[in-house]
Amino acid sequence: ELKVEQNPLFLSMQEGKNYTIYCNYSTTSDRLYWYRQDPGKSLESLFVLLSNGAVKQEGRLMASLDTKARLSTLHITAAVHDLSATYFCAVDGTKETSGSRLTFGEGTQLTVNP
Pick out residues in 88-107 that bind another protein (CB under 8 A): 88, 90, 92, 94, 97-107
* 12-31 footprint of another protein as x/- string (CB under 8 A): -------------------x
Write the CB contacts of 62 (distance below 8 Å, at least 6 apart in sequence).
Answer: 55, 56, 74, 75, 77
Nearer to another protein, 83 or 90 (CB): 90
- In the sheet with 55-58, reading across from the earlier edge strand, the strands are 4-7, 19-25, 71-76, 61-66, 55-58
Residue ranges binding another protein (CB under 8 A):
31, 33, 35, 41-45, 48, 50, 88, 90, 92, 94, 97-107, 109
